[in-house]
Amino acid sequence: MTDRPSWAPTGIDLNVPSVSRIYDYFLGGSHNFEVDREAARKAMKALPGIPKISQANRAVMRRAVRFAVDRGITQFLDIGSGIPTFGNVHEVAQAAHPGARVVYVDNDPVAIAHSRAVLQDTPDADIAAADLRDPRSILEAPETLRMLDLSRPVALMLVAVLHFLPDEDRPAEIVATLRDALAPGSVVVITHATPDHEAAPAGQSEVQAVYRRATTASLVTRTIDQLRPFFDGFEIVEPGIVHLPHWRPDTPPGDEDPAVLLGLAGVGLKP
Q: Could you state, in chain order, the average pLDDT of each consecutive group of 10 residues for the chain (271 residues)?
A: 58 74 85 87 86 90 97 98 83 96 92 84 95 97 98 97 95 98 98 75 72 73 96 98 94 75 95 98
Whole-prediction pTM? 0.88
**Which class for 242: exposed (0-12), middle (13-18), buried (19 or more C-beta within 10 A)?**
middle
Indicate the DSSP class of residue 248: S
In whole angstroms, what is the distance from residue 232 CA to residue 83 CA? 29
| Predicted local distance difference test score (pLDDT) of residue 10 | 63
| Predicted local distance difference test score (pLDDT) of residue 2 | 46
Cβ atoms within 10 Å of 1's Cβ, excluding its own: 10
| Predicted local distance difference test score (pLDDT) of residue 239 | 97
| Amino acid sitting at position 109 | P
| Predicted local distance difference test score (pLDDT) of residue 151 | 98
| Predicted local distance difference test score (pLDDT) of residue 49 | 82
Are residues 46 and 210 in contact, defined by beta-carbon separation less than 8 angstroms? yes
In whole angstroms, what is the distance from residue 260 CA to residue 42 CA? 18
In whole angstroms, what is the distance from residue 188 CA to residue 185 CA? 10
Indicate the DSSP class of residue 183: P
